[in-house]
């Protein structure tokens, strides 16, 4: 990803609380169905996998297809088990792996 993804989580959270996590990646999500000016098919390049873990445990994941809009926005939930950090991973067809770690302020 050329630009880092944007991640929004609440500033603080209590253990046991269910919080929303909003993510926005910057990606063309090239479908593989489009043709360039010369009529040559443009190779598919999409984020095919998104994963979220908290303190090393899986929370949520998504398998994405070309039917997902460019710059994929994904919002999901986490039931805060206690203190820890959120690790988010995006994988694309070009082999790029983007990993972001966000510590959660548990009060």
Cα separation, 46 vs 57, whole angstroms: 25
Q: How far is the CB of 83 from other proteins (least distance, A)?
A: 14
Q: How far is the CB of 104 from other proteins (least distance, A)?
A: 12
Q: Which residues bind other proteins (CB under 8 A)?
A: 18, 22, 31, 33-34, 42, 54, 57-70, 72-79, 81
Cα separation, 12 vs 40, whole angstroms: 50
Q: How far is the CB of 49 from other proteins (least distance, A)?
A: 10
In degrees rounded to 5, what are phi and psi of residue 51? Answer: -135, 145
């Amino acid at each position: 990803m050329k630009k880092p993804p944007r991640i929004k989580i609440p500033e603080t959270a209590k253990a046991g609380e269910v919080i929303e996590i909003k993510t926005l990646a910057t990606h063309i999500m090239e479908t593989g169905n489009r043709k360039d000016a010369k009529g040559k098919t443009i190779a598919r390049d999409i984020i095919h996998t998104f994963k979220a873990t908290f303190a090393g445990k899986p929370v949520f994941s998504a398998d994405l297809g070309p039917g997902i809009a460019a710059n994929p926005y994904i919002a999901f939930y986490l039931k805060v088990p206690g203190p820890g950090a959120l690790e988010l991973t995006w994988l694309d067809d070009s082999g790029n792996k983007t990993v972001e770690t966000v510590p959660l302020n548990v009060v």
